[in-house]
């Protein structure tokens, strides 16, 4: 059993997007958070199966930063 971090965002069209930083290219989207969690679990399983590379990153935290645009 391995625990992964998932970044969840909502796009302009209202879809929730989940991304797993530890697994390159591992992301999915859904219209609800419940559906997103089911889909991201499936995506993680597939990415781990295909990637077969040791995961060496460690989650430290995140920071929101505002900049003028």
Q: Where are the domains of the chain?
A: 7-51
CATH numeric code, 7-51: 3.30.160.250
| pLDDT tens digits, one per residue of 12-41 | 999 999 999 888 899 999 999 999 999 999
- Residue 7, pLDDT score: 94
* 28-48-55-6 Cα dihedral, nearest 10 degrees: 20
Phi, psi angles (nearest 5°) of residue 18: -110, 135
| pLDDT tens digits, one per residue of 35-67 | 999 999 999 999 988 876 666 677 788 888 999
């Amino acid at each position: 059993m391995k625990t992964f971090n998932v970044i969840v965002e909502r796009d302009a069209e209202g879809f929730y997007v989940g991304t797993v930083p530890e697994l390159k290219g591992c992301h999915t989207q859904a219209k609800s958070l419940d559906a997103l969690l089911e889909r991201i679990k499936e995506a993680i399983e597939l990415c781990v199966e295909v990637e077969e590379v040791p995961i060496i990153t460690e989650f430290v935290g995140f920071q929101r930063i505002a900049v003028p645009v």
